[in-house]
């Protein structure tokens, strides 16, 4: 049983960061009773097409987006590394820094979770962190649609009780319902390319950063 509340760990490409990400992190914090949420923008994601925007810009947009929330913090280690970022390596480094006892909760949307079995050394993730799994708009975590090995992990480790996250430092998969928000960075990039302002899909600070730096 940990004295300190669990720390949320939230990775993503954030190309750009949007209200779906912000609500995901905030609703995870509330539902899972996390002390803080650490945002970790990917440097060079290994599992998807190269982001349209540089790591430094994506990091700066996340910093601008979360500055007003005192429970959020930003960790630039993957951006600074200049190498492809593997979550297993990032969590191993966090463990070394934060100790073995603190519960870490990797926050994932359903679409990200459904690809977990394709991640580098994915089974090792369960020894490093819990998973907080949000149901994303229109995409229930349907075990039948999951890879069988991943579905087996969900069956063995899954639940809805946030208390499970405090009892051990890692290894549980706790689901929580998230307000459905069908917002995606892909859609926002397309809108920005058409000259739309995207007000209320992104924080104003992020839109202003995009405008000043002529991104997208
Ligand atoms: P893209 O459209 O470029 O694939 P994205 O909007 O899905 O980007 P990512 O940076 O790839 O954003 O996502 C980071 C994390 O946020 C993932 O776990 C993803 O599931 C989650 N996420 C993104 N958008 C939403 C949303 N609207 N609701 C819930 N979760 C979301």
Which tens digit of pLDDT belongs to each residue from 132-151? 999 755 555 566 689 999 99
pLDDT in tens, 180-199: 899 999 999 999 999 998 99
Q: Which DSSP letter does residue 134 get?
A: E
CATH class of the structural domain 7-213? alpha beta
* Maximum pairwise Cα distance, the chain: 51
Closest CA to 93 of 35, 12, 9: 9
pLDDT at 28 over 80: yes
- Please choose from 185, 188, 192 the residue to mutate so as to test ligand 1's pocket, defined by most ligand atoms within 8 A of CB: 185
pLDDT of residue 44: 81
Q: Whose CA is nearest to atom 7 of ligand 1?
A: 184
pLDDT of residue 139: 55
Determine whether the shortest distance from the Cβ of 108 to ligand 1 is under 6 A. Answer: yes
pLDDT of residue 136: 57
- Cα distance between residue 2 and residue 55, in whole Å: 34
pLDDT at 2 over 90: no
Question: Lowest-pLDDT range, 19-33, 73-87, 127-141?
Answer: 127-141
Determine whether the shortest distance from the Cβ of 115 to ligand 1 is under 6 A. Answer: no
pLDDT of residue 32: 97
pLDDT classification of 159: cutoffs 50, 70, 90: confident
pLDDT of residue 50: 79
pLDDT at 66 over 70: yes
- 3 CA → ligand 1 middle, Å: 31
pLDDT at 46 over 80: no
pLDDT of residue 197: 87
Q: Which whole-number Å values give the CA distances from 135 to 64, 131, 154, 201, 214, in the listed order?
A: 26, 13, 14, 19, 33
- Angle separating helix axes 55-66 and 204-213, nearest 10 degrees: 150
pLDDT of residue 98: 97
pLDDT of residue 85: 85
pLDDT of residue 143: 62
pLDDT at 104 over 70: yes
- 183 CA → ligand 1 middle, Å: 8
Can you tell me the mean pLDDT for 9-33? 97
- Cα distance between residue 121 and residue 143, in whole Å: 21
- Cα distance between residue 36 and residue 6, in whole Å: 8
- Cα distance between residue 192 and residue 180, in whole Å: 22
Q: Which whole-number Å values give the CA distances from 196 to 10, 99, 143, 173, in the listed order?
A: 28, 46, 38, 38
Residue 45 bridge partners (DSSP): 85
pLDDT of residue 3: 79
pLDDT of residue 149: 96
pLDDT in tens, 170-182: 999 999 999 989 9
Q: Are 19 and 182 in contact (CB under 8 A)?
A: no
């Amino acid at each position: 049983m940990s004295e300190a509340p669990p720390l949320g760990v939230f990775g993503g490409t954030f190309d750009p960061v949007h209200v779906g990400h912000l609500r995901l992190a905030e609703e995870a914090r509330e539902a899972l009773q996390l002390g803080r949420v650490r945002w970790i923008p990917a440097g060079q994601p290994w599992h998807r097409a190269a982001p349209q925007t540089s790591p430094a810009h994506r990091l700066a947009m996340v910093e601008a987006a979360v500055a007003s929330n005192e429970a959020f913090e930003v960790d630039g280690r993957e951006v600074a590394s200049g190498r492809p970022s593997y979550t297993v390596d990032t969590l191993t480094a966090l463990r070394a820094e934060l100790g073995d006892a603190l519960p870490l909760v990797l926050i994932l949307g359903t679409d990200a979770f459904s690809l977990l079995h394709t991640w580098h050394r994915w089974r090792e993730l369960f020894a490093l962190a819990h998973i907080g799994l949000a149901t994303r708009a229109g995409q229930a975590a349907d075990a039948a649609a999951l890879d069988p090995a991943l579905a087996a992990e969900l069956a063995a480790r899954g639940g809805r009780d946030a208390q499970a996250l405090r009892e051990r430092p890692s290894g549980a998969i706790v689901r929580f319902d998230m307000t459905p928000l069908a917002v995606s960075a892909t859609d926002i990039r397309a809108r920005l390319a058409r000259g739309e302002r995207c007000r209320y899909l992104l924080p104003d600070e992020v839109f202003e950063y995009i405008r000043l730096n002529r991104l997208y």
